[in-house]
A and B are shown apart, each in its own frame.
Chain A
């Protein structure tokens, strides 16, 4: 149980285009989902907290107009990287919180912007 999926697992795009990443909780409902970014050999950095039916809460330094988050249902949150640039290339990971304190993570999405 407590499986989280992400799609796509990897994506390559041209600079200036937008990319959407989906995060789904497959066997549970998650009122709260989180989006992280991880650069090579670095820690996971929280980007935003997403609550179903309300606006996401972004961490300091994360541009909300660039990283659009939509949490339309209890099992789906999406992250759209708008006008992507090479510096946005990273490993994007989502997690979903089941009741309690534990977060369950998706397998991650590798974004490469050319």
Chain B
């Protein structure tokens, strides 16, 4: 069966360190993968999109990698700040039209001062 797995355990890190979140998937062949940020009681906010032919994508302090052989994406936040504390969701586009997104359950990141 198709699965998208993100670490359900919260990730606690110290301010200034690099946070690394993992997204693994099985039985998918996504053309691209997206990462979103979600704060409590709010809708997701789009962060980055990486396509299957791209190994790495960067945006300011964010970096995403996409390994289609390992079926894994890594999401990095460098020089993390307490304001980065949130839940981060990965999402794959599903085949079958309309570019439907299938979301992982998300990983909660807590950055401590």
Chain A residues, CB < 8 A from B41:
91, 108, 110
**Contact indicator A101/B43 (Cβ below 8 Å):** no
Report how many A-B pairs have Cβ atoms within 8 Å. Answer: 54
Within 8 A of A (CB), among B1-50: 32, 34, 36, 41-46, 49
Max chain B CB contacts within 10 Å: which of A93, A103, A107, A108?
A103
* Contact mask for chain B residues 86-113; partner A; CB cutoff 8 A; 1 contact, 0 none: 0001000100001111111110000000
Within 8 A of B (CB), among A64-114: 91, 93, 95, 97, 101-108, 110
Residue of B whose beta carbon sits closest to that of A109:
B43
Chain B residues, CB < 8 A from A106:
43
Number of residues from A at the complex interface, CB < 8 A: 26
| A28 to B105 Cα, complex, angstroms | 29
* Contact mask for chain A residues 39-63; partner B; CB cutoff 8 A; 1 contact, 0 none: 0011111100101000001000000
Number of residues from B at the complex interface, CB < 8 A: 21
B43 interface neighbour in A41, A49, A57, A105, Cβ under 8 Å = A105
| A110 to B101 Cα, complex, angstroms | 21
Question: Is A32 close to B, CB under 8 A?
Answer: yes
Chain A residues, CB < 8 A from B101:
34, 46, 95, 103
| A97 to B106 Cα, complex, angstroms | 21
Residue of B whose beta carbon sits closest to that of A94:
B43
Chain A residues, CB < 8 A from B89:
43-44
Minimum C-beta distance from A23 to chain B (A):
10
**Contact indicator B99/A43 (Cβ below 8 Å):** no
**Contact indicator B105/A42 (Cβ below 8 Å):** yes
Closest 4 A-B residue pairs measured CB to CB? A105-B43, A43-B105, A44-B103, A43-B103
Q: List 6 A-B contacts (CB under 8 A).
A: A43-B89, A46-B100, A49-B100, A101-B93, A102-B34, A104-B46
Other than the known A32-B98, A43-B103, A102-B46, what 12 A-B pairs have Cβ atoms closer than 8 Å?
A41-B105, A43-B104, A44-B44, A46-B101, A49-B98, A51-B98, A95-B101, A101-B34, A101-B93, A105-B44, A106-B43, A107-B43
Which residues of chain B have a CB within 8 Å of any CB of chain A? Answer: 32, 34, 36, 41-46, 49, 89, 93, 98-106
